[in-house]
Amino acid sequence: MTIVFASNNEHKIREIKNILGNSFTLLSLSDINIKEGIPEDESLLEGNALSKARYIHNATGMNVFADDTGLETDALNGLPGVHSARFAGESKDPSANIEKVLSLLGSTENRKARFRTVIALIFEKKEYLFEGIVTGTIISEKRGKEGFGYDPVFIPDGKKQTFAEMELDEKNTISHRARAFEKLREFLNQYTLSNNKETI
The binding site for ligand IMP (CB under 6 A) comprises 68-71, 84-85, 97, 115, 147-151, 163, 175
Instruction: Please report how close the Cβ of residue 191 comes to ligand IMP at its closest, in angstroms.
Output: 25
Q: Let me know: does 144 contact 158? Beta carbons within 8 Å.
A: no
Closest to ligand IMP by CB, 63 vs 69, is 69
Instruction: Please report how close the Cβ of residue 22 comes to ligand IMP at its closest, in angstroms.
Output: 25
Question: Looking at 67, 68, 74, 169, which residue is catalytic?
Answer: 68
Sheet of 112-123: strand order equals 25-27, 2-5, 64-73, 112-123, 126-138, 154-156
Instruction: Please report how close the Cβ of residue 109 comes to ligand IMP at its closest, in angstroms.
Output: 23
Q: What 3-state class would DSSP assign to 161?
A: coil
Instruction: Please report how close the Cβ of residue 195 comes to ligand IMP at its closest, in angstroms.
Output: 31
C-alpha–C-alpha distance, residues 181 and 130, integer Å? 8
Closest to ligand IMP by CB, 76 vs 200, is 76
Closest to ligand IMP by CB, 63 vs 97, is 97
Closest to ligand IMP by CB, 130 vs 150, is 150
Where are any strands of DSSP class E within the chain? 2-5, 25-27, 64-73, 112-123, 126-138, 154-156
Burial of 187 (0-12, 13-18, 19+ CB in 10 A): middle
C-alpha–C-alpha distance, residues 52 and 54, integer Å? 6
Residue nearest to ligand IMP (CB): 149
Q: Is 68 a catalytic site residue?
A: yes
The residues assigned a catalytic role are 68
